Structure 1
Amino acid sequence: MKSVISIGNQDFISIRKNNCFYIDKTDFIREWWDNQDSVTLITRPRRFGKTLNMSMVEYFFSVNHSECSKYFEDLVIWKEERFRKLQGTYPVISLSFADIKATTYETARRAVIRKLVKLYSTFEFVKSSKVLNEKDRAYFDSVEENMSDDAAAVAVNYLSDYLSRYYGKKVIILLDEYDTPLQESYIHGYWENLTAFIRSLFNSTFKTNPYMERGLLTGITRVSKESIFSDLNNLEVVTTTSEKYSGSFGFTEEEVFHALEENGLSDEKGTVRYWYDGFSFGKRKDIYNPWSITKYLDTGEYGTYWADTSGNMLISNLIRRSPAKIKTEMEDLLNGRVICTELDEQVIFEQLGRKRGAIWSLMLASGYLKVDRYEMDNRTGKRQYDLKVTNHETMLMFEQMIEDWFTEEDSAYGNFKDALLAGDLDYMNQFMNQVALQTFSSFDTGGKPSEELEPERFYHGFVLGLIVDLAGKYRITSNRESGFGRYDVVMEPLKENLDAIVMEFKVQNTSKEKSLEETVEHALRQIQEKQYDTELLARGIAKERIRYYGFAFRGKKVLIGN
């Protein structure tokens, strides 16, 4: 019987009981158990089956679900007798931070404590047992919403003790999406407060916990050890570049193609690969996002399903406010090229706005970029990674994100673009001043007033908008060598009826230039003297089909000349 495509169902037993579409990932249980790591942190992008796998692990090991063995019987894990004997034999503590998306520290802290309160209510039956003494029962009753930080920090540790006494066996602790509240704390400005609270909770739960058999955490990012794992030297971290569990999260191409055949969609394999393939874990390069594949199987239509499940606020803000170098590399990615960088997969949120590799590490962990290839320096052990946009769906996500920067109702950006293509200098000046006024501040880093800021951040963000909006008409590059220097922006037409465009941006030097008109003249002279049109001419574009523009800035005042 054909499986039902169940959208958003992340409960293992519900899926199995109702004959819903499921790809067998139970071999993860064998691999994880046989590795015998004390505490394992696995990072994968969102919607990659982390929650479903955690549900699967809980149902397999939990003594409270010993009756669920029948749902594993035709799966890979049931082939070995030693694992059949393990099913339903351990006390399991299971938590998820996936829904903790608070805008303030107090709200986030309260949400974590509510999780602990609910956890204790789940095991209320233990309180009345003979294994607990009066002091244990007193603490059990103290677990409530107004509990102190110190009491909250030891809550899971103490519950592990109670359960191990009750069942005569150490506990397995599962924590899904551990970093969701941490990312929110960075976005909303209460990072330091929350990390101090979480650090105490995690150290007591996973480090100084003699009642724990194994611990398993999942998340999107590997938050720096100094932030919350400072004392956890027993932590095995598995990132997207690790070999461990490389096929356990996400669908392999073989699994996807089999599903397409089962659903009568064999002819769509090539298009499905173009839209959704490209994720890589370890050396595996054929991983697909389960959410997009499931949605496609359900609807039979292509769409940005995975990309649409997140607002991408953090990534958008980081790119928008990043230095010119980052925006130039973003231009390369949007043009289908690779960027080369070192990565530190231990994401240090405090460095995201300053350290070049930090933003690319975050985007790799989030699934927006993939490793195309890498080289290792044998002397230092450092790796240089070539990164590119993961697939067509992700490219569309980036394009939409950048379009959103310029789509305010009162934005003159669209009018400027039309005037630029038409060569209407008067309209370009009128609209460019509106564009600069409306959007200049949004590309400012806040380090100094926008009126004094060089326009690099603005014009590179502006160029990203051009690349997105004029894709198919122009090949747009910036800050590249041509002739005897580095031009600011070159627009090479992809259609014969369009002119090429060269732009040079300059801030008025008030000690040498009396007016913006003089600054424009200097910009145009630089274009000619440095021969920024060399590449265009070499590609057969006639001189008369190349337009030259000088952009002069004084604060938010702009003058364009040609």
Structure 2
Amino acid sequence: MATARRYPIGIQTFETVRKENYVYIDKTGLIYQLTHQDGKFYFLSRPRRFGKSLLVSTLHSYFAGRKDLFKNLAIANLEKEWNEYPVLHFDLSGAKHMGKDRLLRHLDFLLSAQEEDFGVVDHPEDVSDRMSNLIEKVYKKTGQQVVVLIDEYDAPLLDVVHEEENLNDLRQVMRDFYSPLKKSEPMLRFVFLTGITKFSQLSIFSEFNNIKNISMDEKYAALCGITKEELLTKMSPDIDSLAVRMKKSHQEVLDALAYNYDGYHFTWPSPDIFNPYSLLNCFSDGKITDYWFSSGTPTYLINMMRKFNVLPTALGPMDAQSQDFDAPTERMTSLTPLLYQSGYITIKGYDEMFDSYKLDIPNHEVELGLMRSLIPYYITPDTLTTNNTIVNMGRALYNNDIDGMMGLLKKFLLTIPYTDNTNYEGHYQQVLYIIFTLMGAWADVEVHTAKGRIDVAMIFHRHLYIFELKLDSTAEAAMRQINLKDYPSRFSLSGYPVTKVAVNFDSSTHTVKDWIVK
């Protein structure tokens, strides 16, 4: 009987992965290529839980000369010298949700650990001078250029990106921490930073004229994450095991994995890239479910959505040039850069003639997670009631009981506490969009036709539903509009049966007043 494969769930240390025989997708050929380029300073942006920390740990082991850990990996046939360099490794993922004073204490803790490792006893108090001193002392003590690895460099700033005052204070602290790297260049062999987004007003980007951002470099598109080719070759046994547990065929499981976890592209052209966190958890648990969002709520994203007044229906297909979505955080004029850099939208195509990228939500897992995270802000904090209602509405619709579904919606909206900015038709349009998406339906709003725009179009189990919404009017008026403007003709070639649903909402009760189904 074959030994069960071990998956590195939550394990981000390369030495542990290798010594304890966890599954490792070999990225060391790319690492060798990266570390033998011209230049010293590199930055990689990838979404959270995408393997950045394991990559940094792998770089640490490589530069520390740990040849024993790389046996049978691609780099073993490429590297001939295995020089040992002193490595300063800073993990800033623990510096979240901190004020200025606490952040300074945390940096003191990180610097103290490095000073102790290299026997640096005396040091200045100022964080900038202290970093300079550490690099210089380690360089002189070892006689070797120093490697500096900084994981999640932007972690102290992300959660306050919507708060200008706190952001400025913390940004100044981190600017002081990073600024010595430039003047220490002669003593440095390699500097590598990872993060989610770019803060241009940190010294790392505003002062370094030689830092190379490889986030959209085609050569390194697969440096983090698991490509479809890697899945099919290195993880084919895992697909087979999952197929047995799920009682499905190999191809059915592969299709389900792609639908839920694939679809990321960080440049174009790019291989299809799967979310590694979700994929490994899926193989470990033997089931396909939502893992990425359950591992943490993107509060900074929700706060920025509110700041930029982004509606849920706007989180979908869009066209943009690279400077529009790979822009520094401080210069954002829309939420697109943060959505892209955080992994909530990704590249889906490229128009070379106009240098324009097509962006969209990567996959089903991200779409569902986004909608669920928006429930407390657009519908109600009572997510349990919301989820139960959505399930029951889905059951009713599956059984072709439209009246039953609308009755559930009416009852549900009556339970929602009244909030401001709900007395307009568009609010109910957004609510329906979230609910239908969470039901697993395809939904779109403001769908253009030859004679007007459909409020909500929805496809569920190969059946098309056209919704016309009114506020403080009548369902009869809504149905007359559907018929007058012949909305169903927009989908005449789809082959789907069509149901017209006219809905009238009441601003005094904040729920459905009446509806007609035809």
TM-score, normalised via structure 2 length: 0.80
Cα distance in 2 for partners of 1:159, 1:19 equals 35
Cα distance in 2 for partners of 1:96, 1:260 equals 29
1:114 positional shift: 2.0
**1:514 maps to which residue?**
none
**2:219 maps to which residue?**
244
Structural RMSD (CA) = 3.9
Larger Rg belongs to:
1
Of 65, 80, 83, the match for 1:84:
80
Name the aligned partner's letter for residue 46 of structure 2: R
Name the aligned partner's letter for residue 320 of structure 2: T
Asked if structure 1 preserves the Cα contact closer than 8 Å seen for 2:429 and 2:469, the reply is no
CA change 1:185–1:215 in 2 (3 A) is same
**Identical pairs, percent:** 23
Cα distance in 2 for partners of 1:431, 1:289 equals 35
Asked if structure 1 preserves the Cα contact closer than 8 Å seen for 2:120 and 2:134, the reply is no
Name the aligned partner's letter for residue 349 of structure 1: T
**1:478 maps to which residue?**
445
Q: Deviations over 1:441-476 (max 9, x none)?
A: 4xxxxxxxx4xx87376345323323234444xx54
Of 28, 53, 56, the match for 2:55:
53
Q: Deviations over 1:465-494 (max 9, x none)?
A: 23234444xx54322334543354456776
Of 226, 229, 235, the match for 1:254:
229
Alignment gaps of 5+ in structure 1 = 128-136, 442-449, 506-518
Asked if structure 1 preserves the Cα contact closer than 8 Å seen for 2:222 and 2:271, the reply is no
Instruction: State the secondary structure of the residue aligned to 1:74.
Output: coil
Of 92, 97, 106, the match for 1:97:
92
CA change 1:433–1:42 in 2 (3 A) is same
**2:274 maps to which residue?**
288
Asked if structure 2 preserves the Cα contact closer than 8 Å seen for 1:196 and 1:228, the reply is no
**2:343 maps to which residue?**
367
Asked if structure 2 preserves the Cα contact closer than 8 Å seen for 1:54 and 1:174, the reply is yes
Alignment gaps of 5+ in structure 2 = 244-249
Instruction: State the secondary structure of the residue aligned to 2:8.
Output: coil
Name the aligned partner's letter for residue 94 of structure 1: H
Instruction: Within 5 Å, give how 1:188-203 maps onto structure 2.
Output: 190-203=166-179
Cα distance in 1 for partners of 2:357, 2:499 equals 39
Of 348, 373, 393, the match for 1:401:
373
**1:515 maps to which residue?**
none
**1:116 maps to which residue?**
111
Q: Deviations over 1:118-145 (max 9, x none)?
A: 222222x244xxxxxxxxx3xx2x4xxx
**2:247 maps to which residue?**
none
Q: Deviations over 1:352-403 (max 9, x none)?
A: 5xx33xx23222222232211112456xxxx322122212322332343244
**2:486 maps to which residue?**
534
Instruction: Within 5 Å, give how 1:498-537 maps onto structure 2.
Output: 500-505=466-471, 520=473, 528=480, 533-536=485-488
Of 327, 346, 365, the match for 2:312:
327
Cα distance in 2 for partners of 1:14, 1:424 equals 52
Cα distance in 2 for partners of 1:457, 1:186 equals 28
Instruction: State the secondary structure of the residue aligned to 2:446.
Output: strand
Q: Deviations over 1:496-531 (max 9, x none)?
A: 7x97531135xxxxxxxxxxxxx637x976874696
Asked if structure 2 preserves the Cα contact closer than 8 Å seen for 1:104 and 1:188, the reply is no
**1:172 maps to which residue?**
147
1:35 positional shift: 1.2
Q: Is 2:294 the counterpart of 1:308?
A: yes
Of 422, 433, 436, the match for 1:464:
433
Cα distance in 2 for partners of 1:33, 1:499 equals 55
Name the aligned partner's letter for residue 26 of structure 1: T
Of 320, 325, 329, the match for 1:349:
329
Cα distance in 1 for partners of 2:28, 2:156 equals 28
Cα distance in 2 for partners of 1:456, 1:174 equals 51
More deviation, 152-161/387-396: 387-396
Name the aligned partner's letter for residue 398 of structure 1: L
Cα distance in 2 for partners of 1:361, 1:110 equals 31
Instruction: State the secondary structure of the residue aligned to 1:374.
Output: strand
More deviation, 213-222/388-397: 388-397
Asked if structure 2 preserves the Cα contact closer than 8 Å seen for 1:504 and 1:524, the reply is no
TM-score, normalised via structure 1 length: 0.75
